[in-house]
Structure formats: structure tokens, C-alpha cells
Structure 1
């Protein structure tokens, strides 16, 4: 993010006062949108920047260039510009945008803009905030992307009251503006309004450039340029070189682009010293300039002096921002100079871009660095830089750049380079990983196995070993996500001996995947120390992915084992480590909290689990995670389990549908498959035929399976068998699960199978045997604190709990389980749909509402109906400041800080009655 693009340009030393144009801009500000459209050099930027600097209200600025003609980059910069007003603005939209960028090439721009517009509405209506925002987008003509135009049309259509957007552009933007014109919400300022008049031309030429031209000379230049400000300035610079500007010099100035190019050459460029000429030429290769960048790129040590001289001589160099550290050439001058540079000094062009790219890399502008080399078509250097930057980018969660860069390289270069193929695979959006990764891995393997791979490893056998190991490890990950555990095991065994000792990245990846392999095979006793080793390795080497991903599996493992205290301790420990090492902004920084949802659910803390699920949904937006990611898929599954325990079937249906639409549908995280989860939902809703249809299709496979990954599906099948009266197959199935789960530490699975067996025996009337099984389940469960394992089995299990109390079997534990059941009533406790300040009990809300005055209750009524502050003031015939005063009093009495919090707090109450 280049911050200087967000600064309103400073006033030029030769700026002309334009009161009439300022009046036009001020009048336009009463509308939602102004379009300042004229060819290059009409002073659009200067006029709008000058007007904005004079405003007392909140203003924002965004300078666009050709690189911004890409939706993610465009909207990122637009949000960042708004955040120069207040850092809290556009945070939700930015987070959602980032999350889309991480996982997919396309995104729902309307969803991003809805968040942005709502954020702007809340900001403008809040207390102690400006009532107006003026936002200028300069050089919008660089934007050609149709999706950006469509999104801008959406933004302009729904722009909130108090917001005014100014588009400065050389061409009419391809945005549908007809409705805005018809509604009188659009003002357009074009060349006629921007052209200099005689007084402005006289001020420019004689006052600023001190040419002492006669009125006839000024009038002639004005006529020749048709009031084009840049043309007048170019003419003035040329005439400054003459102590006595002649009439012929003025008369001969003409205004076609070819003539302008000739003019720039003969009357501006050639008038400079050789030293200035060469600096101008070299500077044209760079889109932006600063002294240290120029020193590095040009191989000199006096760039600061030269830039100062260009500014002083007004040679069309524009300062970016208040600090005057960054500059750019006027576009026309740069285009003219660049054409000449490439023609005159072709041998210098490529080395200069290389040095500039190195400077950008060293100063942590990776995208600009690689972009320069790609622009220069210096493919070998670009590839080397991409490979060099890749580890750091992956570590900080910016791996999407790898795929972007590879897509901008010639396809044959990528397809013939195994390193690039692997980097492109790492950078793929998650929605495309399962689709494209196998092809990329296969091609990389073919290149490594061939006798002469191109541009790959410099024939270093250790490099080839490392590449093979990386291919095998990535293949193992794909095998894991498609539940091909034998293939995963084989690939890990092939990778391990090939990993160089010094390769920390591959070593950490192997430790993590090997630990996950043992987890997915159900050997939790072996998995735990291996997962802990992976976490410790990640901490030692600051390998964030290792720490976070391994921790997710460790928490899940501890939950299955019933070690809830240890699971919570691990979660707290890593959270502290993440904060201590400044990793809280990493895309996966808070994903370990996702696994705590199951921890809470197993203890039947369902409301807390539901709130955490929604909190994780919000965290996913800010952590670059979105709907088609494996993280979101896992979250949907865990939330769905919580919803089933809540008996919130409609919401659970939504989660199941989301999982069915995910490219990660095969991935179960060791839990139930998506199809089995749907069968469980159908069974709980009384749709028994649908559940049995799944059971008929899967029973042959599940009855023969001894895989850990099938256990949850088998337990669902057992429940369906019990309901259909297939008692013996149900008992056999449960006995097999218990026998496999117990020695491998899967306490929760063993207890669950014992509970279902006890219920079957009770159904058969074999009460003594049922209570014996149930007592065994209670005894094992009590040591760990399982609750939902019992309550999820319904009323029949409640009956056994009461029988156990009557018979003195773990009676204290049974009573605690029943108390937990009473603490959550699915018929009265709302399913969390929002991250919220919890809704207070109805009597507390009523007590707080009673503190409000009649006028405050009246205003609160309008808030509940969605009225804006302005509409409230107009409806009640009171000033806007009075409305804000009343709102401050309302927030204080309700003990909230915003309109949103107030509405959430009273959401359980009916519309407030005015009394």
C-alpha cells in the first residue's frame, strides 16, 4: 500500500486562484457525485485538490494509476483512502475484500460495498463525527475494468447522505449515470469550466512566470491553447528562456499532440542542462520518484539535489503527500521522456529497472519490485525475485501474490519451471486448489524426473531433492484433504529422507503433516506428542502455520480424548505466544479458536459455542478467510454440530447446504462426512426415510470400515439402526467402535458407543444390561466432564440418567448433566445470529427504557424503524445537533456506545411505546 497515493496534492507555486471554478465545485457539493472530466492538462487535479484543501469538513484523496485497474487493488486503495479520515472506516469491507482475495479470483463486490456503505452511514450519523465527507478519485481514466465500473455504479447509486464523491478523469467513465442525471444527483464539470479565462491566463503567465506579456500576447496564447492550462504552462516555460518573448514565438505555439511532443523536445527538454536532461530521461522509467530510489536506480548520489531543482524549475514534477519525499512526473512529460529514453538509451533501461526493483524489494514493496521486472520482460530476474520473496510472503500470509505473479509471466516459463509451479500452487485461491494442484504437481514431478529441466535448480542434486520432497509433501496434503490416507502415508515416507537438514520450511511441513497423518489414522496416543513437537518446532523457528494448524489438531485431539482442561491450556498458551511475537495480523491468527467451539459444545455450553462460532465468522473476514476455504468449511461443520445440539434445525440446514457447496466437501477433519451430517439432521427432524436412504447406501462400506475417519458416520448409522429396530447390527457396530477407540485414546467415541448400546438394550427391555453399559459410560465420562454426549441422545438418555440417580450410579455427575440441560432450553434460548452484546433480560431492558424521557423514547422509536439522524430531525422539526444530543443521552442511559449497540440491546423488546 503506497501511502502517498492517499495524500491530497500540495498547492503548486504557480497555482492560479480560480474563484469561479471554486464556486462551481462548491455548488456541485450539494449533490452526491461530481465528475470532473477533461483531457490531460486541464488542471483537474489542481482545481479539485485546491478546493478540498479549503474545506473544513472531512476529505479524502486517492490517486489512481494503471496498476489500480484490478478490482482487489482498486477497492483496497479506496478503503485505505477513507481510513485517512478515520481509521475505523471501511475496516469490515477491507477485511471481507482480503478474505475473498485469499481464496478466489472473483468476489461479490456488492457484498463488499454493502459493508462499506453501511459503515459510512453509521459513521456519518454517529455523534462527534463530521456530517459530510468529500472524497476525490483522481485519474479515474486509468480504470478500464468493467467489474470496477459496475461496482462504482453500485456505490454511486447508494451513496449515503452527507457523502460526496468527485471523479477526476480524462474520459467519461463507463458508469451508468443516466438515473443520477435524471434525479439531479450528478454534476459534471468539463473542459469548458476548466479552461482558463483571460484573467486566469494573465495571472499564470505574467504573475507567476513573470513573462510581462502584453494583453495581445496573452490573448493569442489563450486562443492557441483554447484555455488548456497545461499548454499555457508549457508555453510559459518555453518563453521563460527568452528575455524578450517575441510575437512569433507566441503565434507559433500550436496544440496537437505531435506538435506538443515536438515542443516538449525542442523548447523544454533541450533547454535544460545535460545533467537535468539525463535525470529527466532516467526518471521517466519510474512511475514514482524519491531520492534514495533514484540514487539506487540511476547509480548516482545526488538525486535529492536534482529533484529539488526540478521542483524549483517547475518541470512538471508533482509532489505526492505532505512530506515531499515522493514525486511523479506529469503524465504527458513522462510519456514523452520514456519514449525518448527507450530509443536513445536502450542498454541502460533494463539494468535501471533491475536496480529499481531491487530497491523496492529491499524497502518491502514486493509487488512493485516484481512488477517492474515483468514490465521490462526481464523474465530471469523476475523469476529469481519471485522465488526469493516466496518464503517471506507465505510466512506473512500474502501467498496470493505468488499466483498473481506467475499468471503475469509467460505461460511456457512457468510450465517449464518446477519451482514456479509449486509457488503457483501455493498461491492458488483455496476454491481452486483441489482442481488445479494435481496438474501443477504432476508437471513439476515430470520436470524433476527429466534430464534437463529449464531454469530450475542449477543442476544441484540437493536442490532437486528438496523439490522432490516439496512435491511429495504437497501431494500428501492433497491426499489428506481427499481422505486418501494410505497415499498420504506413502508420500510422507518418500519425502522424509529427501528433506535437507537446513531446510526449516520443509522440515516443519513434514513434522506437521506426519502428526496430522497419525491423527487422521485415529492413533491419538501417538499423534499428541508428534503434534506437540510440531508446535514446539514452529515456535522455535517462528513458523506460524506450523503453530496454528498443529494447535487446531491438538485441541481437537484433546477434545476427543476428553482432556478439556489441557485443550483450553494449549489454546491460551498459543494465544499469548501470538501476541508476544506480533503475529495477531496473520491470516490464520485466530483460527485456533475455531476448535474451541467443539470444546464448548462437548461441555454443553451451547450459547457460548454459538457466539464463538459467529465470532469466528467475523474473524474469518478479517483474517482473509472466506466461504470456499477449508477453514470456513471446518467452521461450518463445527457450528452445524452446535446447532444440532441446540435443535436449531433450520440454521443447521443452512450450514449443511454451505458444506455441500464447498470444494472441500470430502474433508471432515476427523468428524462426520457432509452426507452423514445431512442424514443426522434428517433423522433428528423426523425425516426418517431420508436418513434411511443414506444408511442403505453407506452401510456396507461403514460396516466393513475400521478407519477413524468413518467413526462419526458409523455412530450416525448406529442411531438410525436403533430407530429402525435393527438392534443387533447396532450393538455390533457400537462394540466395534468401542474396541477400536478405547486403546487409541478416543474416549469420547468409546463413551458415545456405550451410550447408544445402553439405549438399544433399554429398548429391548434388558434393563439390567442397559444400566451396566450406561454405568460404564458414566464412569468413563465423569473423569473428563462430557455432557453433550448424553444430552444429544434425547429423552431416552434422560430417562437412563434419572434411573442412574435412583440407583445411586454416579448420581452427582448425572445431576450435573441434567442441570446443564435445564440451563439451555432450545425452545426459549435464541440461536445466535449476530456477534452481539448479549441481549439483557426483558425486565432489565424495560427498567433501562423507563429512564428515557418522552422525546428520547420517541427518537428511539424512529431508530427502530431505521430512520437516519437527518430524517429524524426533519420529521420532528428539530436541528441535527439536537438529535445527536438526544442520542448521546439515550446511549448513556442504555449503557451503550452506538446506534447499533442500542438496537441490539432492545432487539428483544417490541417497538418502544411513546407515553
Structure 2
């Protein structure tokens, strides 16, 4: 990272060094968070910039503008700032999009730290003009960045007030306030003397106290005093804003020609502006531009962002003059600005400027430039807002506006609105444009929406779209991620035969879908076949379609499907107890995870998370997967992350938190009629209640899970919970549950017990191979008990040897089995020996 501070011009507003302020900043930047607090004109930016320019810190500086209240636009600008330091990191940030979910923020932190720690030089991340941003998601991003406590770095926030709503600061911090930034009497004298002004300390004190040490006022007074003397300056200025603006007018603005004054007023409507944008609007080039902008004390150039910024007070001063301009000049300026932003890829800014002059067609043209991928919720909300801003007559004559609107509404779980929009436009097109490509686009959107809602019969719509779009869709392409966080196979009803019907839908629908979507979803039919066989207990039959899905998807860069295929292979080999195949599968996952083209996919973390949750090493599961608060995801199936998250909570004994999470996701699953998700919800609820010894509730949940699964022969969810469901099913066998056949309980219990034994073997082998001793939390007496068991002693012999009652031996033995995840005494001894406990 370059040691970049905002202003490339020599000198500063005050013209002197201030060792007192530098010392305060030096101390503040030793903390993970530092805040410079003070109103407009207190010199926060200048104090920070002057200090950092002379320091050994590497600096990343970002200036907020009002446009950053759009999270996606903020992310685009932040990425551009990072591009000056690490272009590769900036590209990853652009691919990721604004991190509005724990998963995405975790990926961003990983990418950031990989680039940040190339050496040990400390880094300061500066966020300036914080007062301009009140968007809660942008503020949440700052909170998350603060909470991350990045090694060897400090976050420096420049704010008018502190604390700021929506930003948490749960780390050691230091606040540098307005009193620290104000000039002392001695500093004021040094300021005047630096300009070759003969001012005594007494005179400087009088001036300084007149303006209460306000840096901006002192800078203006210095200009007047040098020309007219001290008393004249004090007569001209008080701390009131009208007097300050009057001095702006007389001392600065008056120096420009009328044409230059007009340009400055016009530029004030652009928030901030790259050099190229100023040239496009003004026609000024090179040296003329530097002269125009550089002579003004209250215009600074941020090298990091490569943009000019007005001082907030000077910006307010200029905007009060907007009424003096002819509206035609304003429209021309915004159009030129919009055109330049569009040509240079600043789409959010271009839309903002086109909207200000009501250019509907241009806004729509730019919306079509947004990549047709699965969007974050913030980006989708932005697109929804823009489409709804378009007037009715425009949307009516441009059907694709409403088709895209329907898809974005589905993206953000607004299903009823989406259906209402698409039903209308489809009916219109079928009546007025039958057989048209636009109707084909509508059918493709219908198929995508049904797929996103996990509805069957989507195949019909893709077949119709395929007939009308021989060259594929003009909008949707292979950048779509169809199943990153969830399974492929859907089940809308628990009626018998529905699972086969769903598989038939994918078998028929995927080929035309991939043609329409230019390869998106390639291999999804094989993945669904694998899931079908696995869910119904035909585990070995699931292996071949899993590999078919893996290599088919890989050929079209469909990494979400390839990742899910690897996830299924991990589960298959775990159930079969094939340790080496598990290791080979994880190596494949690691290789994919390192590929730039696969960056940002959640399935890699989910797969590793599954593996570590199986081992009980929940601390090694990615933070966004462990986090029980889920937000920001697009409405794809979330079963994968949900399943791992629940396993972590249950493994860690957080049963009540698990129940709360189950309630949250059951509502989502029911809204989409996602039966497979509901099976996992009910089964996880049954296991959790069983651990809490609330057996009536556990039986009710187990019965609900069976009713959802039994008609379609779905058994694997009950089996692969292993030792957890084994004890639950054992109790159900003993007591009986009306509505669950005893034969089904016997079969599933037997298979769950087999898996539990294999699982214990795999866990022991893993820890043995890693040369790690797993901490099972055994007491010394429990270890002594295991030593006696390993020697073949009976319960009675152990009782006599340890001088405890027989009932205590039995109770302690059960506790040891539970801690080890053992099936019997022999299994407990094997696990203990594998982990070097005895």
C-alpha cells in the first residue's frame, strides 16, 4: 500500500506543524479505533493528513459523499480506492459485491488480510466525512470492520459527532475532540509568524480567543490580517456562519472570473468529482484545471480516491448560490457528468445524474449493464428502486423493465409482488406478442423465479423459452449461481411420489434451461440425481451422479454446482466410513477455494464447516456459518449453511439458541413450501428437545419429520445425524410413537447406529493422523474408569477397584460414553487409545 494521504499539494491550511496535535494523534493511532470529532472547519482532515504524510504508516483514505448512502455505490467507490493499492484485491471486492451478509464479510476479511500482511508496516484506514452517511448497512459494515480488529492496523474515523448511531465500537478506542484540534494561543501566533506577520503573543491571543481557536476562521483571518490588519479582520468575522460565508465571498470566490464562478457552483452539485469528470464538465485541461482548483484553500484533491472535494462549509456556501444559475446550465452539467460516469464505468453515479434530469431511457440502458447474476439484497433493492422510478408509460412500452423487476423482487423474497408483476406482463405479451423473443424472456424469468422458490414444473417454462429463444436469452447468462448455498433437488409436497416427480422435472428441465441461460445450471440434473439417491438411502448409487455433476459443471465454470457435488461426496464417504476418499474430496475443495474464478462462493466454507462440525471442532467452522443471525442472502435454498450451523449449535450445547434459529428458518421454508428443509428443521428440533429431556416435544417433532419424509422414502437425514439420532430413535423404539411404524424405526435406528460407529472410527483416525489429542473434557476419575475398562474389568470389579458404588460406576460409564460419542465399552476404549487418553 502506498503511503497515500488526501492532498498532493504542498503546504496545508494552517502552514505550520503542530507537535501537540501530532502527539495526540500518535497516541490515538496505537488503538484499534481512533475518532477525530469536531464540527465543520475544525481541521480534522488536515490534522490527520498532515500527521500521516509525515508518519511511517501506510494509509488508505476514503472520503464519504452523500452518494455513499447507496451501499452498492459505496462499495464500487471503496473498491476503486483499494485498486490504487492492490488491484487484485479490488477485483475480488468487485466480484464479491457489498458484503451485506456474514458470509460475504468473512470472505472480504480473508481477501483483505491476505493482502494486508505482506510486511509488518502498520496501516491506517481513514474514513472521512462520516456525517454524510446515514445508511444503516454502510454503518454496519464499519461496525463489522471495527469489530474485526485487524492486526497491525487502525481505523481512523473523522466525524462531526460521536458516537454515531448504527456504528458499534466494541474495541479499545481513543477520541480526539474539538478541544484537541483547536489552536492554542501559541499555535495561533506561530501561524501568523509563518506568514511573515509581526504579531505579538498578546495580539494572537486576542484574535485566537475571538474565534475560540477555530482553525477555519483563523485561516480566513490570516488572509485579511495580512492585507488589512488585525482589527479589520476581527471586525469582518465572528463565529457566525453568515459572517463566514461573507468572507468566503470576499476573500476567495471573488477572485474567480464569472465563468469560473459558474463552474464551481455547478460542480457543487456533483458531491465529489474525479479529475476527468471536472474536465468533461468544464472543458478545462491540465494546468488550467490545476490552477482553477489548486488556488482554493477549501478544495482538496484526494490522491487515494483521485477525486476533488469541497470543504463541507464551502460546499454549503456554493449550493446557496445554485438559484443564480440558468436551469439549462444545470441540465447540461448533469448530462455531461452522467455521460462521463457511464463511459468510465461509474454506473451508480451515472444513474444518479441521469435521474436528476429525468432521463428515463439512459437510466434503463445503464440498468441493463448490471451483470445478470444473483444479486446481494442491497444491490437488488437498488435495481428495484430504479425500475420503480421509471414512469408507467415507459415500463408499459418496455416489458423487460417489469420482467427484471419481478426477478429482483424474487431475489429479495418478495414473492407475492413478483408474481403480481410477472403475471400481468406475461398475459400482455401472450396477447400482443405471441411467439416473440420478449415472451421467451418472460418465460425464462418465470422458470428462474420458480427455481428460486424451489417450485416444480419450472421445466415447462424453460422448454417454452427454449422454443422462442434459439440463440439463448439476451439477459440471463452463465454468471447465475443457482445452488450455491442450498440443494438442487426440491420437494413442494410430502405426498408419495413427489420426490420422483421433482427429479423428473430437473431431468427434463435442465437441458433447455442451460441452453437458454448460456450454460448456467450445467450439471444440475446430475446433482439432483445424486441427492435423490442419497436422501432415499441408496448411498453408493449416489457416487456416480455426484462425479458426473462435478465434471460436467466444471466444464462450464459452474462452480456452485461443482461445490455442491463435492459437498455431497463428502457426506457420502462419511456415511460409508471411507477416510481416504474424505481426505481426497477435501483436497478438491481446497483447490477450488483457491481459484479466483470461484471466489465468493459459500459452498467451500459450508463443506469444510460440515467436516469440522462432524469432528466437534466447531471453532474451525467459518464465522458466517456459525453465526446464528442470517441476513443479506438472496433467496436460494439455505439448507446447506443451516444444517452446518445447527450442528455447531447442538454440538456446543447451545440448545435454546438452536431452537430459536429453527423457528426462524422454518418460517422461510414454509413460505417456499420447501419440504426437504422442513424435514431437517423438524429432525433438528427433535434432537434438540431430546438433549433438553423434553421428550414429549421431541416425539412430536420426530413424528412431524417422519410425516414429511416417509411418503417419499427419505431416510438419510435421520441416519446421518448418527449418534445424536441413535439415542432419540432408541427411545422412540422403546416407548413407541403413534403414527411412526415400528419397522421404520427399527431400520433407521440400525442404520444410524452403523453410521455412529463409522463416525467414531473416522473421528479417531483423523485425530490420530493429525497427531492431536482431542480434549473430551474427561475428569481424572473418568480416565481411571477407562483404564479399568481397557483391562477388561467388569462393573463390579471397577466398583471395588475405584471404591465407588456400582450405581456410580454405571452412571459414570454413561457419562464417559456420551463425552466420547462411544457406542459401547470396546468403542470407548478404542477412541481413548486413538486419542492417547489411556
Question: What band does the TM-score fall into relative to the shorter chain?
Answer: 0.5 to 0.7
User: Whole-Å Cα distance in 1 between the matches of residues 704 and 756 of structure 2?
Assistant: 34
Give secondary structure in 1 for the equivalent of 2:179.
helix
Question: Equivalent residue for 1:261?
Answer: 245
Cα deviation for residue 589 of structure 1 reads 8.3
Question: Equivalent residue for 2:54?
Answer: 54
User: Whole-Å Cα distance in 1 between the matches of residues 294 and 702 of structure 2?
Assistant: 84
* Alpha-carbon spacing, 1:265–1:691, altered in 2? closer, same or farther (3 Å): closer
* 1:138 is aligned to 2:128: yes
Q: Tell me the C-alpha RMSD between the 2 structures.
A: 6.4
Cα deviation for residue 411 of structure 1 reads 6.0
User: Whole-Å Cα distance in 2 between the matches of residues 161 and 251 of structure 1?
Assistant: 51
What are the equivalent positions in structure 2 for 1:308-327 lying under 5 Å apart? 308-321=290-303, 325-327=306-308
* Alpha-carbon spacing, 1:472–1:206, altered in 2? closer, same or farther (3 Å): same
User: Whole-Å Cα distance in 1 between the matches of residues 385 and 210 of structure 2?
Assistant: 47
Query: Pick from 254, 278, 292: which aligns with 1:270?
Result: 254
Query: Pick from 379, 384, 388: which aligns with 1:406?
Result: 384
Structure 2 residue ranges without an equivalent (≥5): 492-497, 587-603, 611-620, 720-728, 775-833
* Alpha-carbon spacing, 1:602–1:481, altered in 2? closer, same or farther (3 Å): farther
User: Whole-Å Cα distance in 2 between the matches of residues 70 and 226 of structure 1?
Assistant: 37
User: Whole-Å Cα distance in 1 between the matches of residues 362 and 44 of structure 2?
Assistant: 36
* Alpha-carbon spacing, 1:447–1:219, altered in 2? closer, same or farther (3 Å): farther
Query: Pick from 547, 552, 556: which aligns with 1:568?
Result: 547
* Alpha-carbon spacing, 1:365–1:695, altered in 2? closer, same or farther (3 Å): closer
User: Whole-Å Cα distance in 2 between the matches of residues 403 and 828 of structure 1?
Assistant: 49
Cα deviation for residue 563 of structure 1 reads 7.2
Q: Deviations over 1:85-110 (max 9, x none)?
A: 99999999999995645xxxxxx7xx
CA contact (8 A) 2:380 2:408 kept: yes
Moved more, 43-52 or 150-159: 150-159
* Alpha-carbon spacing, 1:501–1:550, altered in 2? closer, same or farther (3 Å): same
Question: Equivalent residue for 2:786?
Answer: none
Cα deviation for residue 17 of structure 1 reads 0.9
CA contact (8 A) 2:372 2:477 kept: no
User: Whole-Å Cα distance in 2 between the matches of residues 116 and 334 of structure 1?
Assistant: 34
CA contact (8 A) 1:317 1:327 kept: yes
* 1:825 is aligned to 2:825: no
User: Whole-Å Cα distance in 1 between the matches of residues 180 and 375 of structure 2?
Assistant: 48
User: Whole-Å Cα distance in 1 between the matches of residues 11 and 452 of structure 2?
Assistant: 63
CA contact (8 A) 1:42 1:230 kept: yes
Give secondary structure in 2 for the equivalent of 1:42.
coil
Task: Compute the TM-score of the two structures, normalised by the length of structure 2.
Answer: 0.63
Give secondary structure in 1 for the equivalent of 2:321.
helix
Query: Pick from 674, 681, 687: which aligns with 2:678?
Result: 674
User: Whole-Å Cα distance in 2 between the matches of residues 254 and 649 of structure 1?
Assistant: 62
Cα deviation for residue 313 of structure 1 reads 1.7
Give secondary structure in 2 for the equivalent of 1:825.
helix
User: Whole-Å Cα distance in 2 between the matches of residues 677 and 277 of structure 1?
Assistant: 66
* 1:388 is aligned to 2:368: yes
Cα deviation for residue 44 of structure 1 reads 1.0
Question: Equivalent residue for 2:608?
Answer: 615
User: Whole-Å Cα distance in 1 between the matches of residues 108 and 322 of structure 2?
Assistant: 43
CA contact (8 A) 1:281 1:337 kept: yes
Question: Equivalent residue for 1:360?
Answer: 341
Question: Equivalent residue for 2:771?
Answer: 844
* 1:434 is aligned to 2:434: no
Cα deviation for residue 120 of structure 1 reads 11
Give secondary structure in 1 for the equivalent of 2:309.
strand
* Alpha-carbon spacing, 1:305–1:275, altered in 2? closer, same or farther (3 Å): farther
Q: Deviations over 1:130-166 (max 9, x none)?
A: 6x66544322222445787788779879968976544
Cα deviation for residue 327 of structure 1 reads 2.0
Give secondary structure in 1 for the equivalent of 2:127.
strand
User: Whole-Å Cα distance in 1 between the matches of residues 392 and 667 of structure 2?
Assistant: 29
CA contact (8 A) 2:531 2:568 kept: yes
User: Whole-Å Cα distance in 2 between the matches of residues 329 and 432 of structure 1?
Assistant: 41
Q: Deviations over 1:366-404 (max 9, x none)?
A: 222223334x26262564245432xx4224856852422
Question: Equivalent residue for 1:475?
Answer: 446
CA contact (8 A) 2:384 2:408 kept: no
Question: Equivalent residue for 2:601?
Answer: none
* Alpha-carbon spacing, 1:296–1:711, altered in 2? closer, same or farther (3 Å): farther
Question: Equivalent residue for 2:598?
Answer: none
What are the equivalent positions in structure 2 for 1:857-876 lying under 5 Å apart? none
User: Whole-Å Cα distance in 1 between the matches of residues 37 and 294 of structure 2?
Assistant: 29
Question: Equivalent residue for 1:171?
Answer: 161
* Alpha-carbon spacing, 1:447–1:81, altered in 2? closer, same or farther (3 Å): same
User: Whole-Å Cα distance in 2 between the matches of residues 135 and 32 of structure 1?
Assistant: 10
* Alpha-carbon spacing, 1:466–1:352, altered in 2? closer, same or farther (3 Å): farther
User: Whole-Å Cα distance in 2 between the matches of residues 796 and 193 of structure 1?
Assistant: 71
CA contact (8 A) 1:136 1:166 kept: yes
* Alpha-carbon spacing, 1:348–1:595, altered in 2? closer, same or farther (3 Å): farther
Question: Equivalent residue for 1:13?
Answer: 11
* 1:191 is aligned to 2:178: yes
Q: Deviations over 1:634-658 (max 9, x none)?
A: 4258879999xx9x9999x989948
User: Whole-Å Cα distance in 1 between the matches of residues 663 and 80 of structure 2?
Assistant: 31
CA contact (8 A) 1:672 1:711 kept: no
Cα deviation for residue 619 of structure 1 reads 8.7
Moved more, 211-220 or 401-410: 211-220
User: Whole-Å Cα distance in 2 between the matches of residues 255 and 187 of structure 1?
Assistant: 28
CA contact (8 A) 2:6 2:61 kept: yes
Q: Deviations over 1:599-655 (max 9, x none)?
A: 646765488399675337779969x99786554534258879999xx9x9999x989
CA contact (8 A) 1:79 1:93 kept: yes
What are the equivalent positions in structure 2 for 1:492-503 lying under 5 Å apart? 495=465, 499=469, 503=473
User: Whole-Å Cα distance in 2 between the matches of residues 588 and 337 of structure 1?
Assistant: 55
Give secondary structure in 2 for the equivalent of 1:173.
coil
Query: Pick from 284, 287, 297: which aligns with 1:305?
Result: 287
User: Whole-Å Cα distance in 2 between the matches of residues 122 and 681 of structure 1?
Assistant: 39
CA contact (8 A) 2:211 2:218 kept: yes
Cα deviation for residue 293 of structure 1 reads 1.9
Count of aligned residue pairs for this structure pair: 703
* Alpha-carbon spacing, 1:531–1:546, altered in 2? closer, same or farther (3 Å): same
Moved more, 672-681 or 288-297: 672-681
CA contact (8 A) 2:406 2:421 kept: yes
* Alpha-carbon spacing, 1:497–1:532, altered in 2? closer, same or farther (3 Å): closer
Q: Deviations over 1:724-749 (max 9, x none)?
A: 9x9xx999xxxxxxxxxxxxxxxxxx
Give secondary structure in 2 for the equivalent of 1:393.
coil
CA contact (8 A) 2:440 2:468 kept: yes
* Alpha-carbon spacing, 1:432–1:230, altered in 2? closer, same or farther (3 Å): same
